Amino acid sequence: MTSPPQGSSGPAPDPVDPQAPSPEQFLAVQQSEEFAGLRRSFRGFAIPMTVAFLVWYLAYVLLSTYAEGFMSIQVLGLLNIGIILGFSQFLMTFLITWLYIRHANKSLDPVSTRIREELEGVN
């Protein structure tokens, strides 16, 4: 990386991309209503899903620790409630992933693409 010539102020233009957005442009985008809406949309999905998953996981751990009788109830053959709830942890992970992909494709990606294109001057 080269440094700016003596006596010049500010950073040298990016030799790879002379049209790279400036820090001021990034700050303006960060303070825009559109970006705030994008953050709200992401957090509106991520926080409740994280809480739901942690509650489900902690409930499973607590049940397996303190409710051995309940967890060992046979459901079908050698399958008991504990094993079924354990496998449901995997299903919950896949479900949340699928829901997030749907949410991102519908609500996050179009907005973030529009913001990025405006910032890069693609439009």
Give the integer Cα–Cα distance in Å for 57 and 99: 18
- Tell me, yes or no, whether 5 lies in a domain: no
- Tell me, yes or no, whether 31 lies in a domain: yes
Q: 46 lies in which domain range? A: 23-120
> Residue 59 contacts by C-beta under 8 Å, 6 or more apart in sequence?
none
Q: Note the pTM of the prediction, 2 decimals.
A: 0.74
Q: From the centroid of its chain, how far is CA 105?
A: 12
Higher pLDDT, 47 or 1: 47
- Tell me, yes or no, whether 8 lies in a domain: no
Q: What tokens were used for 94?
A: 């896949």
Over residues 1-15, the pLDDT tens digits come to 455 555 555 555 455
- Tell me, yes or no, whether 3 lies in a domain: no
- Tell me, yes or no, whether 15 lies in a domain: no
- Tell me, yes or no, whether 44 lies in a domain: yes
- Tell me, yes or no, whether 4 lies in a domain: no
- Tell me, yes or no, whether 80 lies in a domain: yes
- Is the pLDDT at 106 greater than 90, yes or no? yes
DSSP string spanning 47-114? HHHHHHHHHHHHHHHHHHHH-HHHHT-EEETTEEHHHHHHHHHHHHHHHHHHHHHHHIIIIIHHHHHH
Over residues 19-44, the pLDDT tens digits come to 788 889 889 989 999 999 999 999 99
Structural domain count, the chain? 1
Over residues 59-99, the pLDDT tens digits come to 999 999 999 999 999 999 999 999 999 999 999 999 999 99
